[in-house]
Amino acid sequence: MNHPMSKLCAAGIQLREQIDDDYPDRDRRSDGVVADARHYATNPSSDHIPRNGIVRALDIDANLNAHPEETYALVEKIRKCAKRGDKRIKYIIYDGKIMSPILGWKRRKYKGANPHRSHFHISFTTLGDNDGKWFDLEGDRNERLKEDGGKLGQNVPSNSTRNIPRGGLGCRCDCKCGASISLA
């Protein structure tokens, strides 16, 4: 199925940019955005399926080209950011665990077919469709406000109009969360 007009939600673009900034040499082969045709059948509720042209899910390759612990630490930062109240994040899946508002973002066993070890999955709420503001992953927004009135790192222009390239993000993943690969 072709979705030439599909694009990742603004929150997803912003979060991926922050991860790219922190891990410029990361492996992107298990990255993914848009569901492939198979997932339409196997997981029709996947957030990787565009709705009104917007994809509300992002897969990030677990290989950050850093110590493996870094991946856990990054997922933990995203989880805590959500727990502190960033309602753009709907849920996260990584390494056999799902994290969502259920039980206050506690890590719970993920029972899906794919345990998500080659990548982690982030679903976004509709609040992230057009809201590409900076994610406070370090939890230091209040300190920033004291230091510079919150300007530092804020209002990073997010290119929310960027279209997802057609055909081939070079993804090798086989994600039951509905992932990804290409628009071909």
Interface contacts to Zn ion, rule CB under 5 A? 59, 121, 175, 177, 179
Nearer to Zn ion, 28 or 121 (CB): 121
Nearer to Zn ion, 77 or 121 (CB): 121
- Find the shortest distance in angstroms from Cβ 174 to Zn ion: 11
Inter-residue contact 106 to 139 (CB < 8 Å): no
- Find the shortest distance in angstroms from Cβ 173 to Zn ion: 8
Nearer to Zn ion, 10 or 57 (CB): 57
Nearer to Zn ion, 115 or 150 (CB): 115
Residue 88 DSSP one-character state: T
CB count, 10 Å around CB of 63? 18
Q: Which amino acid is at 114?
A: N
- Find the shortest distance in angstroms from Cβ 32 to Zn ion: 6
∠ CA(181), CA(108), CA(34), 5° rounding? 15
- Find the shortest distance in angstroms from Cβ 177 to Zn ion: 4
Nearer to Zn ion, 17 or 174 (CB): 174
Nearer to Zn ion, 34 or 177 (CB): 177
- Find the shortest distance in angstroms from Cβ 16 to Zn ion: 13
Helix (H, G, I), strand (E, B) or coil at 127: helix
Helix (H, G, I), strand (E, B) or coil at 107: strand
* HEC readout, 21-69: HHCCCCCCCCCECCCCHHHHHHCCCCCCCCECCEECEEEEECCCCCCHH
Residue 84 DSSP one-character state: T
Inter-residue contact 79 to 91 (CB < 8 Å): no
- Find the shortest distance in angstroms from Cβ 179 to Zn ion: 4
